[in-house]
């Protein structure tokens, strides 16, 4: 009896150890499975987004820039908003290089670029006359260099949009800059420079520039008016700067609006007319100039469009492009209300959550 009991006891203990061992192995397997299944999620969170930003985008000239209603620090504010609300890190954004002089000369004249070495000229374009009394080196570092970086950002954004289907440059959209002159705080024609480079690489390509800043994009229209492969869809306050009536005749799809237009009329035009413009133009690439100076509280835009309508506007433009698989690059352009940076940030978050990754 003693021998049998001992045998049974030993078998029971062996079975117990076997069971415990199996449970340990299962636990280890499940833990490894959990880690493996979590890894793609973390990789996705850490992946780079096709959004371009430089800490040097913000414009600063001894505080004198604050004499103009333009929010010269909005780029950093939008960047900070995206990081804070979306849990993004700086390493998930692309950093641009300054546009080269050779590329600037593909659109601008040498005489104009030389004129930017004069503080008086820089001050006139910025509409801040006090800048004329500062050394040109300070103005170049505080104003022109950020805009050369942003122009490089627009060019980088083109490559990213071609690769990912969309991209956003958290600056740019200098649509008043002409080949031989600047204006309206615009020094370099970033969109035409980038557009001509795209056409150089793809001569049979077609480009649509959707300019929804509150002001007519007279610089873009002046530079691109003879280029049949570039079409412009421009919705603007016809009673506001720059009042370039002759150039309005060169716009492929012009929509001059009366002041205080409001949400319904404005959005109806975008919803109805933009899809038709895309259909007619058959573009291979879309530049989207997403100015928020149409905002109701903007002191210079005058179109009285609400924050919600601006967010909806951006979503409409992106949905149309993505639906038809046309690469789209968004640039920020104008905006003069204190709330502008916040509206841009909220709109980009909406694009990421409900349009691009929906």
Q: Known catalytic residues?
A: 176
The residue written with tokens 């990912």 in the block is 164
Task: State the alpha helices, DSSP H only, in 165-306.
Answer: 190-201, 218-224, 245-248, 263-281
CA–CA dist 187, 144 (Å, integer)? 7
CB count within 10 Å of CB 134 equals 17
- Token duo for residue 234: 């421009």
Long-range contacts of 76-83 (CB under 8 A, 24+ apart): 77/341, 77/342, 77/345, 78/170, 78/332, 78/341, 78/344, 78/345, 78/348, 79/53, 79/170, 81/341, 81/342, 81/345, 81/346, 81/349, 82/51, 82/345, 82/348, 82/349
Beta-strand pair 230-237/207-211:
parallel
């Amino acid at each position: 009896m003693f021998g049998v009991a001992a045998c049974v006891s030993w078998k029971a203990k062996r079975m117990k150890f076997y069971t415990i061992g199996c449970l340990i192995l299962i636990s280890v397997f499940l833990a490894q499975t959990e880690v493996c299944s979590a890894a793609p999620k973390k990789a996705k969170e850490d992946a780079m987004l096709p959004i371009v930003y430089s800490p040097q985008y913000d414009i600063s000239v001894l505080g004198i820039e604050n004499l103009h209603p333009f929010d010269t620090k909005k780029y950093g504010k939008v960047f900070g908003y995206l990081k804070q609300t979306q849990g993004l890190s700086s390493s998930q954004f692309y950093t641009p290089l300054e546009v080269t002089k050779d590329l600037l000369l593909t659109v601008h004249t040498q005489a104009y670029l030389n004129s930017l070495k004069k503080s008086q000229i820089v001050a006139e374009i910025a509409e801040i006359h006090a800048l004329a009394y500062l050394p040109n080196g300070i103005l170049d570092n505080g104003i022109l260099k950020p805009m050369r970086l942003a122009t490089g950002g627009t060019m980088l954004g083109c490559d990213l949009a071609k690769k990912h289907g969309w991209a956003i440059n958290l600056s740019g959209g200098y649509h008043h800059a002409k080949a031989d002159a600047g204006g309206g705080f615009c020094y370099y024609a970033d969109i035409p420079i980038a557009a001509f480079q795209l056409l150089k690489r793809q001569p049979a390509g077609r480009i649509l520039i959707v300019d929804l800043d509150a002001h007519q994009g007279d610089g873009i229209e002046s530079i691109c008016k003879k280029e049949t492969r570039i079409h412009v869809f421009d919705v603007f306050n016809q009673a506001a700067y720059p009042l370039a009536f002759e150039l309005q005749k060169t716009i492929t799809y012009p929509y001059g609006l009366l002041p205080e237009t409001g949400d319904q009329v404005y959005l109806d035009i975008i919803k109805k007319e933009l899809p038709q413009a895309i259909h007619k133009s058959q573009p291979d690439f879309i530049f989207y100039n997403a100015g928020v100076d149409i905002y109701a509280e903007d002191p210079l835009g005058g179109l009285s469009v609400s924050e919600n309508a601006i967010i909806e506007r951006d979503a409409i433009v992106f949905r149309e492009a993505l639906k038809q698989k046309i690469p789209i690059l968004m640039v920020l352009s104008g905006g003069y209300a204190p709330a502008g940076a916040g509206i841009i940030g909220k709109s980009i978050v909406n694009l990421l959550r409900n349009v691009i990754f929906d």
